[in-house]
Amino acid sequence: MKKRILTIFMVVIVMASLLACGKKDNGSGSEGSMGTLVIGTGAFNGVFSPFFYQTAYDAQAMELIFVSVCELDENNELKDKAGHIETEVIENDSKQQTKYTIKLNEGMTFSDGEAVTIDDLIFAYYVYCDPNYDGMSTFATSLDIVGLEEYREGNAETISGITRVDELTCTVLVDGVNIIGDRLLGLVQLVPKHYYGEDYVKGDLAGVKDKSSAPLGSGPFIFESYKNNIVTVKANENYFLGAPHISFVKYQVIDEEQKISAIIKGDIDITDPAASLEVIDELEDEEIPYSLTGYPGYGYIAISAKRIPDIKVREGLMHLMTRSQAIRTYYGDLAEIIERPMTPTLAEYPDDAGEYWGYDPQKALQCFKEAGYEQINGKLMKDGKQLVVEVGIGKAESHPSTPILTQMANDLRAMGGELIISDMEFSLLTNRVQRDDIDMWIMSWGNVTDCDMTQLYGSEYVKAGGSNRTWIQDAELDALMVEITKTLDFAERKQLVAEALDRVMSWATMLPVYQRKDMIIYNPDTIDMSTIPENTSTYYSYVNEIEKLKLK
C-alpha cells in the first residue's frame, strides 16, 4: 500500500509543480477556512497524555482537550475553573495537617458524553501516586498525602488520605502545611476514569499509556487526529463554559526561524517566536501584534562551593561580573536584570532588592588576597598554585551572558589569575554540573510557579542527583525555607523569602543575571484581536479563554 502511494507520489510531484501557480490565489483566508485556527508550534513526540507527556509542545497540543479543577490567573493566583478547592489547616494533637476539599462543578461531561465525577479526579491522583509511575510529574514527591508512603512502598490498596465524599466532592489530607498543596491538587487535569482506567490496577500503567495517542477529556476542544506533523482538535459543543466560536484548532509544527514568515504569509495565526530586538523590529515593520510576558524563570551564573570552598575566592569572583552592559546589548527591553535568584513573575519576589555584590575589580583583588593569594611574578598564587577557575557555558557564540565571562577573564588575567571559558554542548554541561565536575556554570531555571526553594538551596539536596549543585549548606537557611513553605500569610511569606534570598546571596554561589520575555504573535488578518484577553501574562493567555476567541 505504502509503495503504491509512493509511486503515485513520484508521478504527482511533477504535476504539482505545474499546479503550483494556479494555487496561489487560494492562499490565506480562503473560503471554508474561517473556522480553523492554526497555531505554530515545535515538533511533537505524540505523547498526548497529561500523565506522561515530556515536552512543552505535546502539552500545548493537549491544553484545549483537558481542563483542571482550578487554573492560574494573570497574577499567578489560583482561581476556580471546573471546580473549587478549599484549604483548612487542622491541629491533630500537636501535629499539623491540612485538609483540602475539592468540589467539582455540576453538569460537566467528557467529550464522549459521560458525566465528570470526583472518581475521575481521584483516579488521576492515583495514577500520579502509582509505585510504577515513570512520568516526569513531581506530584507524588511534592505532597505528603497521608497514607501515600504505605501505598507506594507497601501493600496498602488505597491511599488513606484521599476520601470520596460524594459524586462531586473529595477531601485530601496532607501532613503539615504546604503553600503549594492547593496548586498541586487543583491543577491536575480531569481525565475520564472509564477510558484511561479501563484496565488499571495498582502498579500496571500500561492501559493508561495506551491512551497516549488518543486523549479524551472535558475541555473546549476534542482531539481528532495527529498526522503529517499536525494535531487537529475540533470544538466541543458541550463545553461547560460554552461552545467555542472556532470549529477547529490545528497545531502545525514549524521551524523556529520560519515562525514570523509563516505569520506574514498567512499560513499560521498564532505562534511564539523567541523574542529578540531583531524580531521586534520585523514585527513592527509588518504591523504584527504581539504580547510580551515574563518568562517564569531566570538565567544565572553559579559557583560551586564544593569546588571553590573558600568564600573569599567566590566573593572575589562575584565582584568581577558586570551584567547590565551584556544584557542590555543583547535584549534591550526584552529582559531585565534581576538581583535575587528567583523569577520576578512570582509575587513573592523582593522587588526592592538592590545589587548584592557589584562589579569592582579592586575589591575582587582584595578578596583574593584575603583568601591567601599573592601576586608573584604577575601571577595570583597560593601554595604554589595559580588561581584558575573553569566556567561552563552552552552555545557561547550566541549566549547573552558571554560578554560577562570575557570581561571577567580579562580582569582576572590582569590580576594574574585565569578564567577558562569552556563552551560545550548543553547535555555535557548538565552532566558535568551534576557530577560536581565544574567550578562555575551558566544556566537557567524554568517553569517556576511557586516560591519553594528547598530543593535548590537545601543542605540535603547536595547529594548526587539533587538540585543544589552550588553546595550551599546552611542550617539557618534550611529552617527559613521550611518556614516559607508553611507560611500561608502572603505578606509574612514575602518577608521570609526576601530574608532567605539574601542569605543565599551571602554564600556567593549564585549570581542571578536576567529574566527575559516570552512572546506570542498574532496574525492580524485572521484573528479578531478584541477577543484576545487584555490581561495576557506569563500565567494567563488566549488559551484560557479559547472558547471566546473569534476569527475575522
Partner 1 sequence: MKQYVIRRILTSLVVLLGVSFLIYAMLRMMPGDFVEQMTSGNPTVTAEQKEKLRELYGLNKGIVEGYVQWLSDALRGDFGVSFTYQRPVTEVIGSKMWISFSLAASAFVIELLIAIPLGIAAARRQYSKRDYLIMFLALAGISLPSFFFAAVLQRIFAVGLGWLPLSGMVSAREDYTGFRLVLDIAYHFILPVTVFVITGIGGWLRYVRTNMLEVLNADYVRTARAKGLPESKVVGKHAFRNTLIPIITFIGGSIPGLFAGAIITEGIFAIDGLGKTALDAVNNKDFPFLMTYLMFMAVLTLLGTLISDILYGLADPRVRFR
Contact positions with partner 1 (CB under 8 A) in 452-471: 452, 455-456, 461, 463-467
Nearest-approach distance from CB 15 to partner 1, in angstroms: 7
Strands 78-80 and 248-253: unpaired
Q: What is the DSSP string of 303-362?
A: E-TTTS--HHHHHHHHTT---HHHHHHHHGGGEEE-SSSS-TTSTTS-TT---SS---HH
| Contacts to partner 1 from residues 485-504, by CB under 8 A | none
In the complex, minimum distance from the CB of residue 168 to partner 1, in angstroms, rounded to a whole number: 30
Three cell numbers, residue 193: 476514569
Q: Write down the least CB distance from residue 129 to partner 1, Å.
A: 13
Contacts with 86 (C-beta within 8 Å, 6 or more apart), sequence order: 100, 101, 102, 103
Positions in 140-179 near partner 1 (CB under 8 A)? 141-142
Nearer to partner 1, 101 or 459 (CB): 459
Going by C-alpha positions, the residue among 433, 437, 460 that lies closest to residue 445 is: 433
The reply on whether position 20 binds partner 1 by CB under 8 A is yes
Work out whether 104 is an interface residue with partner 1 (CB under 8 A).
no
- Which positions from 408 through 447 interact with partner 1, judged by CB under 8 A? 427-428, 430-432, 434, 443-447
Binding mask 220-259 for partner 1 (x = CB under 8 A): --------xxx-------------------x-xxxx-xx-
Stretch that binds partner 1, among 262-270, 274-282, 411-419, 517-525 (CB under 8 A): 262-270
d(CA 358, CA 511): 10
SS3 letters across 294-308: ECCCEEEEEECCCCC
Asked if residue 24 binds partner 1 (CB under 8 A), the reply is: yes
Give me the least distance between CB of 474 and partner 1, in Å please: 17
Distances, alpha carbon 549 to alpha carbons 262, 521, 526, 531, in Å: 21, 15, 11, 5
Any contact of residue 399 with partner 1 (CB under 8 A)?
no
SS3 127: helix
Residue type present at position 109: T
**Is residue 43 part of the contact set for partner 1 (CB under 8 A)?**
yes
Closer to partner 1 by CB, 171 or 434: give it.
434
The residue to which cell 509544527 is assigned? 253
Site string for partner 1, 126-145 (x = CB under 8 A): ------x-x-x-x--xx---
Asked if 45 is part of the footprint of partner 1 (rule: CB under 8 A), the reply reads: yes
Min CB(251)–partner 1 separation in Å: 8
Residue of 445, 452, 443, 506 lying closest to 474 (CA atoms):
506
Q: Which is nearer to partner 1, 163 or 455 (CB)?
A: 455
Looking at the Cβ atoms of 427 and 530, the one nearer to partner 1 is 427
Smallest distance from the beta carbon of 83 to partner 1, in angstroms? 24
| 267 part of the interface to partner 1, by CB under 8 A | yes
Q: Residue 229 or residue 329: which is nearer to partner 1 going by CB?
A: 229
Q: What is the DSSP letter of 90?
A: E
Question: Do 277 and 271 form a contact (C-beta atoms < 8 A)?
Answer: no
> Which residue lies nearer to partner 1 by CB, 5 or 90?
5
- Is residue 510 at the binding interface for partner 1, with CB under 8 A as the rule? no
Q: How far is the CB of 109 from partner 1 (least distance, A)?
A: 26
Per CB under 8 A, does 47 bind partner 1? yes
Closest CB to partner 1 among residues 8, 388: 8
Buried b (16+ CB within 10 A) or exposed e, 498-528: bbbbebbbebbbbbbbbbbbbbbbbbeebbe
278 versus 534: smaller Cβ distance to partner 1: 278
Is residue 159 classed exposed, middle or buried when 0-12, 13-18 and 19+ CB atoms within 10 A define those classes? buried
Interatomic CA distance for residues 544 and 528, integer angstroms: 16
378 binds partner 1 (CB under 8 A): no
Q: Does 36 bind partner 1 (CB under 8 A)?
A: yes
Number of residues that bind partner 1 (CB under 8 A): 77
Q: Does 386 bind partner 1 (CB under 8 A)?
A: no
What mask, x for binding partner 1 by CB under 8 A, covers residues 278 to 307?
A: -------------------x----------
Integer Cα distance of 138 and 157 in angstroms: 21
State the minimum distance, in angstroms, from the CB of residue 87 to partner 1.
20
One-letter amino acid for residue 474 of the chain:
D
Question: Counting Cβ atoms within 10 Å, is residue 358 exposed (0-12), middle (13-18) or buried (19+)?
Answer: exposed
